[in-house]
Amino acid sequence: ILQCFKALCCKGPPPPRPEYDLVCIGLTGSGKTSLLSQLCSESQENIVSTTGFSIKAVPFQNAVLNVKELGGADTIRKYWSRYYQGSQGVIFVLDSASSEDDLETARNELHSALQHPQLCTLPFLILANHQDKPAARSVQEIKKYFELEPLARGKRWILKPCSLDDMDAVKDSFTLLIHLLEERELEPSRM
């Protein structure tokens, strides 16, 4: 019995969870800050648009994601690429209920990111946010409009619907991203 007790109690601290550095991009108003704050269990009150960037450590059961969220205003977007270095994955948040113009801008920004030399080999989690709004487009419509199939062929990307109403689905999407990050770590490094 003592042996059994020792085995249970004396294991020492759990092994540290792996940490991954991610960049989170998307237009202003797509919901990046709200989603990340909710994932960190922070208050949803007084959320303001991110100007510049902010960094959040988002804890999950099997990993910690250090997410660098970049502001989405057009004056800031031209500097996004300065913050890409060292990223191991990308979260792209889009407002699935936005105007045609904004959707087109989001598409162009996503295309640029998918083709950027520092990001093009990384896993992408694309979140079609605001699915709870009446004007929201379905994931199928977004996949087609964003021309993801031909553009992202051979890349690791996940496109998921989301809204703040269903944080379990958001967490599931992040779990899928963590699996892609883990798989990427196991690959022999491409020189």
Annotated binding-site members for Mg(2+): 33, 50
Distance of CA 48 to the CA centre of its chain: 19
User: What Cα–Cα distance (Å) separates residue 25 from each residue in 70, 101, 109, 180?
Assistant: 6, 18, 9, 18
* Residue 117 dihedral angles phi and psi, to the nearest 5°: -55, -30
- Residues in contact with 177: Cβ distance below 8 Å, sequence separation at least 6, in sequence order: 89, 91, 123, 125, 158
Nearest residue to 184 (alpha-carbon basis) of 18, 14, 17? 18
The answer to whether the CB of 48 falls within 8 A of the CB of 93 is: no
Distance of CA 130 to the CA centre of its chain: 15
Q: Which parts are annotated binding residues?
A: 26-33, 50, 72, 129-132
Tokens of 7: 């085995």
Q: Which parts are annotated binding residues for GTP?
A: 26-33, 72, 129-132
Q: Please report, as a single letter, which amino acid is at residue 40.
A: C
